[in-house]
Each structure stands twice: as structure tokens, then as C-alpha cells.
Amino acid sequence: MYPFIYLASQSPRRSQLLTQLGVQHELLLAGPEEDAESLEEHLSGESPETYVQRVTHLKLLAALQRRKARGLPEAPVLCADTTVALGQTIYAKPLDADDAVRMLQALSGQTHGVLTAVAIGLNEKVAQACSESNVTFARMSESEIRAYVASGEPMGKAGAYAVQGLAAAHISRISGSYTGIMGLPLFETAQLLKSLT
């Protein structure tokens, strides 16, 4: 595995998970001149899996350009994107508290998919993987949903929840990759880093 990589993600969880893997990294974040949000636009008829992989690839291309433009030393660049899907419906990050309530009402009592795509680029070489897991929420009452949203935790999270936070009290079952649900599947990430050596 590489002794050092760039992480093109604002997620503190992804940074913590890379540290858990023993991978030294430095953040390579978009500047104000970049329209990073537009990369996450969902195309009509696009499946959740196609969407998350396309968005991750676009983020990686932007980050590779960023490294070059800033004249930073060469090292692998890692990007990831997580999306929550109930059937073919994608639940991105909530726009506001009302949007978070709407999402959690839809996920309550249901099993949904969590897809995290990871892409790593070095020079012209790009390696990509996608982890798919399932999360089952117990039925949540209106007051439980509103109390959780009031905690502020759902904001900035795909599907309006964090598996490693307060939401764990409402999750009855998980299958797949716990770290993938958190935002960076460590097994797939380690395999991708190995493939670049």
C-alpha cells in the first residue's frame, strides 16, 4: 500500500477510516473557483449504482486536475461518494430539516441500499470499486424522527443519517460493509491501493 495519498473529501469519517488503515494522507479539497456541487447532479433514469460511480469518477478527474494545477508532488488521489437508495429512488444529503424529516419518514421501517464508490488515480491509472450494503430501519415515530433531525446529525449526510451516530438506536439490521456505510469501504480501498503498486 502507498505510504501517502491525497484525500479529495471533506468527510472527517473518511479521513478517520484512512488513518485506521494506516494510510497517511493530506486533504486535497476543491477551491472556491470549483463548482463541486454540480458534479453530484442526478441524471434522469440513472440507476443509483451508475450515479454513484459516475459522480465519484468525475470527482476524481477534478481532484487530479487540482493536484496538477497546485503543483503538488505526485501521489495517488482518492475520491469517494456515498448514496442511499430505496429501490431506484436516491436520497442525497438533505437540503434542510424538513427534507431530512421527509427522507427519514420514507426510510422508517424499510430496508434500503447504501452504495459507496471509491476511485483512486495515479498518473493515467485509475482504479475504481463500489461497495453495496443494506440497512434496515425500525419503524420510527414522528417524534423520534423530529428529535433526531433536531440533533443536527442528519445534515450533510446521504439519506439524512449517520450509521455511527445517534441513528444506530433505530437501525435493526445491517448487511454488507459497515465502513462502506460510513463512507469508505476499507476492504475495497485497501485492494485498490494495492492494485496501484
Assess whether 35 carries a catalytic annotation. no
CA-CA distance, 109 to 127, in Å (whole number)? 36
Q: How many Cα atoms within 13 Å fall on the side-chain side of residue 29?
A: 8
Residues 6+ apart with CB under 8 A from 79: 8, 9, 56, 59, 60, 63, 118, 119, 120
CA distance 30 to 38: 12
Measured CA to CA, the distance from residue 19 to residue 173 in angstroms comes to 27
Q: Which of 35, 81, 96, 99 is catalytic?
A: 81
How far is Cα 114 from Cα 183, in angstroms, rounded to an integer?
9
Question: CA angle, 160 as apex, 159 and 163 as ends, to 5°?
Answer: 85
The cell numbers describing 120, all together, are 483512486
Q: Which amino acid is present at 115?
A: L
Q: Catalytic site residues? A: 81
